[in-house]
Amino acid sequence: MAAAAASSLLLALLLSLATAQAWEALPLQKRAFYSPSFSMAPGSVAFDYFYDVEFPRGHLALKSFRADVVDADDNVIPYHEVYLHHSYIVRYYQARNYSIPPVLDIETLPYGDGFIYRRNHGICQGDLLGQYFGLGTEMQSTPTAVPDPYGIEIGNPAPIPHGFDEKWLLVVHAIDTRGAVDRFGCAECRRDLYNVTVDQFGEPLKDDYYGGLSCCYAHTQCKVREDYEGTTRSLRMRYTLTWTEWVPSIIPVRVYIFDVTDDMKLVVNPSSGAVAAKHDCLIEYMVESCHVDGNGEKGCADFKKSIVAMPKGGNVIFGLTHLHSGAINSTLYGQDGRVLCTTKPIYGEGMEEGYIVGMSTCYPEPGSVWIDDGELMVHESVYTAERRRTGVMALFYLLVADRVADTPAAPAGFNDNYFMGVRSMLAEKLAGGGGGAVRSGDGGASGAFVGVGLVLLGAVATALLLRVKRS
Ligand SMILES: *[C@@H]1O[C@H](CO)[C@@H](O)[C@H](O)[C@H]1NC(C)=O
Ligand SMILES: *[C@@H]1O[C@H](CO)[C@@H](O)[C@H](O)[C@H]1NC(C)=O
Ligand SMILES: *[C@@H]1O[C@H](CO)[C@@H](O)[C@H](O)[C@H]1NC(C)=O
> Which residue out of 321, 331, 360, 382 has the highest number of ligand 3 atoms within 8 Å of its CB and is therefore the one to mutate?
382
Compute CA distances 301 → 327, 387, 468, whole Å.
9, 10, 22
Gap between the Cα atoms of 336 and 369, Å rounded: 13
> If you average pLDDT over residues 437-456, what whole number do you get?
30
Ligand 3 centre from 435 Cα, in Å?
17
Q: Is the minimum distance from the CB of 95 to ligand 1 under 6 angstroms?
A: yes
Cα atoms in the Cβ-side hemisphere of radius 13 Å centred on 309 = 27
Q: Which residues are CB-neighbours of 297 under 8 A, at least 6 positions away?
A: 290
Backbone angles phi and psi of 82, in degrees to 5: -120, 115
Rounded-to-integer distance, Cα 216 and Cα 211, Å:
8
Please report the pLDDT score of residue 48 as a whole number. 97
Q: How many Å lie between the centroid of ligand 3 and the Cα of residue 360?
A: 14
Percent of the chain with pLDDT over 90: 69
What is the C-alpha to C-alpha distance for residues 311 and 371, in angstroms, rounded to an integer? 10
Least confident of 17-31, 285-299, 301-315: 17-31
Instruction: Among 302, 305, 328, 384, name the best residue to mutate to test ligand 3's pocket (greatest count of ligand atoms within 8 A of Cβ).
Output: 328
pLDDT-wise least confident of 12-21, 29-38, 250-259: 12-21
CA 65 to chain centre: 13
Instruction: Give the whole-angstrom CA distance, residue 132 versus residue 119.
Output: 8
For the chain, which residues make up each domain, given as ranges?
2-19+410-470, 35-401
* pLDDT tops 70 at residue 191: yes
- pLDDT tens digit string along 46-93? 999 999 999 999 999 999 999 999 999 999 999 999 999 999 999 999
Band of the pLDDT at 405, cuts 50, 70, 90?
Answer: confident
Q: Indicate the range of 204-208, 243-247, 460-464 predicted with least confidence.
A: 460-464
Q: How many helices, marked H, and strands, marked E, lie in the chain?
A: 6, 26
Q: Are 156 and 66 in contact (CB under 8 A)?
A: no
* Contact between residue 132 and residue 62 where contact means Cβ atoms under 8 Å apart: yes
Using most ligand atoms within 8 A of CB, pick from 304, 329, 360, 377 the residue to mutate for ligand 3: 329
Ligand nearest to the CA of 115: 1
Longest dimension (CA), the chain: 93
The pLDDT value recorded for residue 419 is 37
**CB within 8 Å of 324: residues ≥ 6 apart:** 136, 188, 356, 389, 391, 392, 393
Q: Strand 339-343 and strand 394-401: pairing? A: unpaired
Nearest ligand, CA 380:
3
Confidence of residue 240 (pLDDT cuts 50, 70, 90): very high
Q: What is the pLDDT of residue 268?
A: 86
Compute the average pLDDT of residues 226-246.
Answer: 96
Would you say 380 and 330 are in contact if contact means Cβ atoms under 8 Å apart? yes
Q: Of 453, 340, 73, 102, whose CA–CA distance to 233 is shortest?
A: 73
Task: Please compute the mean of the pLDDT values over residues 261-265 and round it to a whole number.
Answer: 95
pLDDT of 16 reads 41
- Running DSSP on this structure, what letter comes out for residue 324? -
Residues 352-373, mean pLDDT to the nearest whole number: 93
What's residue 296's pLDDT?
54
| Ligand number, closest to the Cα atom of 94 | 1
Average pLDDT of the chain?
83
